Amino acid sequence: MKKETTPARREPDAATLNQVVRWIVSGATEFEVVEAIAEKWPDEKSKPLIMSAMVYLAKNANASGDAVRGWCFEATREVYRQAIAEKDLGVALRAVKQLHDMGGG
């Protein structure tokens, strides 16, 4: 008698995982993510993609304090860069103050 095997779970490629993570962190509901997956990748099952995205997010929840501070520093620099490009000096000044405070000044 031949034993049946279940196919190994296939990990999503980086671009697919990145898109599902973006939908989740942008505040989309589970229903909206399922609908977006069905629209973008009609042949994919949504549950494994969502679970892979949640595993990815859980791994990042354990980032070191230095990694989080570094990300905050770079994100604030990006906000400053965009604010200057848009000539939004109020936002730019708040970003400078935040960078100063983050630097221990």
Domain ranges of the chain: 14-60, 65-102
Predicted confidence (pLDDT) per residue in 14-72, tens digit: 999 999 999 999 999 999 999 999 999 999 999 999 999 999 999 988 888 888 899 89
Looking at beta carbons, which pairs linking 12-18 to residues 24 or more positions away fall under 8 Å?
12/48, 12/49, 12/52, 16/41, 16/44, 16/49, 17/49, 17/52, 17/53, 17/56
Predicted confidence (pLDDT) per residue in 66-98, tens digit: 888 998 999 999 999 999 999 999 999 999 999
- pLDDT value of position 6: 47
- pLDDT value of position 18: 96
- pLDDT value of position 1: 56
* Contact yes or no for 38/25 (Cβ under 8 A): no
